[in-house]
Chains A and B, each alone.
Chain A
């Protein structure tokens, strides 16, 4: 804040935006505490531990790196959700299941392509196929493609069967129907693959970049593909006719319709792009974590919602930035609270964002 700001305007600002000020204060407090902890200083007030403590720089660095990786995965998963939320105008509670189903089909395919005995066992992921980027690149690539294709297929099928007959319905009816879809898809996966958690990857090779950061090849793949997908979608929305049509629909569907935009076709293409990206995201989620279970998409759904809402519904960059911020909160919260409560911290941030700035950081339904 510059020196030329008078007390008068500061007071005005406080009166106008008390919540923003409050959030700012809290953030500052946490940052100050983090700095003090890094320095190893403890601030005592009346013999009570108020601020500070100690934390190693390397520990903090690990948290930040983990947060970034989780965040990119969440952000990538969030793009599809953000698109359907803004363009089709409902909160899709089945979004997590597009992640899971894409991942299961992708990884089952990859396990079969990698070869070996017992196709049935491999399809059902009964034993760890030990897939790894450098030793089985073809299997992993085929799996990735199948993840995208199957998620697109599922998205189109569900749109045709469930959402199309309800086009005129309100967002909340679609939301309730999507809860039904979520249960249907999640437990169909459980019916086929059972409810266990299966390991699917081998131990990936570690690479060190510029003597600074050590990442596994799988994490690197996630970062690169996540970045490429984000830029790709952003370019599509910004510069193609389809992207313009999508943004027009997000802004005002009736206006888009009378302007001659084929709304039904754009809806289908939205599901194709969003579904494909989500399938890829699910596949990469598993690539990074190494294990797969029938409910991983659902478990991460609120995290993804948090990212999308924090970034601003409809904004691709917002989903990405929101994802990274949410990932960082999820990991950095360990500095202050037990690790089994970091998820709760993320949800607190989600609620705070909805209260303070429901349009998100990148503001409103604008798409890109």
Chain B
């Protein structure tokens, strides 16, 4: 069967099959890995939880970015900044007014108020950022949004608003030391599993060998995130298929034509920028907020590039592609290297038992090169494992270059939706 024949047969399937098929495949691969590494059941389940969690958070941000880049053609390089605005706003608004010593107080509102505030403020900052988007070319917009994201990070990092008092209310960002998020999205999930009826589930899990309550709580949170991704998918799809969404696609195809047809493209851009950035804020809250601790270092531009790579892998313009790209990127490119690094000792021992050689990590690249020349592959791999975070970036860079050269459409980009409400060709019935 030719590749295209295989592809056309695949494209006949409903989209949910791709997503669940991919996740099932990832689960099988990672279960295999963990079994090879002699993980106990809790460890296996926790690994599957981790890939679900990362897949879900990436899918959320990628869906939001797809509204900008995939549908409207707005090249937003400020993703990290908008996520930071969302999660910091949430942390400040719903932080307790009298936290422990050396902690910075918040405004003491409920978690849900904090989440809504985070989304709204991120959206408003997005609206503000869209004002330049109205007049700038794509590459200038990229630079402006990147600069804005860095401004946000630098301000959060600065001592300026580390702890401030306005009208007797004290709050702050914590500056470079970061901020503890006592009241975070994971909190209600944890609370659910600690009291009846949730505690019954925890007990059951303990009984079958998942002997860490945090793993059960984590699974619960990952399931919640999966549901949020589903809701977001429906929401984004609604936007995309509405008349509003058609104008967005028209702006992407040809802004002048869209304007000539009587659409005030400025408003459409402002609104979609705000909506997308609000969703990025939400993703920031659910992603970084759930760690219980936030720090400006998490919001460096690299994370934006990660999200872009995920979107391009999936194919800009396709929502299913966004979820698939997010999952593939999060599991294979983001989590797998981290997983291997955490388990480098058993993995290297395994390699040694096959290849021989030494597992002692060479101190420098020259020693590692020497080991490679001396055919001590194990020692060379030990150096690679020690530098796996650098190798991960190298891999991401290579993939980005490859995709831009050979497959700018990614996996699902060929399904990009046209601005027309009726099919323009009779042959293509994908969307």
Contacts and interface: CB of A to CB of B under 8 A. Distances in A.
Contacts of A309: 140, 143
Interface residues of B, number: 43
A351 interface: yes
Given A347-B151, A351-B148, A172 B138 contact: yes
B139 A181 contact: no
Interface stretch (A67-75, A186-194, A207-215): A186-194
A177 B400 contact: yes
A200 interface: no
A174 B75 CA distance: 13
B143 A91 contact: yes
Interface stretch (A132-140, A147-155, A258-266, A335-343): A335-343
Contacts of B20: none
Contact of B394 (A176, A191, A341, A350): A191
A171 B158 contact: no
A173 interface: yes
Chain B contact surface mostly: helix
A305 B364 CA distance: 34
Contacts of A193: 365
Contact of A179 (B131, B143, B391, B400): B400
B364 A191 contact: no
B58 interface: no
B39 interface: no
Given A120-B366, A340-B159, A354 B396 contact: no
A340 B365 contact: no
Interface residues of A, number: 50
Contacts of A123: 366
B158 A305 contact: no
A166 B404 contact: yes
Contact of B401 (A124, A181, A354): A181
Contacts of A305: 143
Interface string B179-218: 0000000000000000000000000000000000000000
Interface string A145-174: 000000000000000001001100101111
Interface string A95-126: 00000000000000000000000001001101
B268 interface: no
A344 interface: yes
A184 B401 contact: yes
A183 interface: yes
A302 interface: yes
Contacts of A162: 401, 405
A165 B397 CA distance: 17
Interface in B389-416: 390-394, 396-401, 404-405, 408
B308 A347 contact: no
A123 B367 CA distance: 12
Interface in B139-163: 139-140, 142-144, 146-148, 150-151, 154-155, 157-160
Nearest to B132: A355
Nearest to A180: B400
B136 interface: yes
B365 A124 contact: yes
Contact of B405 (A165, A337, A340): A165
Contact of B150 (A175, A191, A194, A347): A347
Contacts of A173: 404, 408
A90 interface: yes
Nearest to A348: B151
Given A177-B404, A192-B365, A302 B136 contact: no
Given A187-B397, A190-B390, A347-B151, 16 more contacts: A91-B142, A120-B366, A124-B364, A175-B138, A177-B404, A180-B397, A182-B397, A183-B400, A187-B392, A302-B143, A343-B154, A344-B154, A351-B144, A354-B136, A354-B144, A358-B140
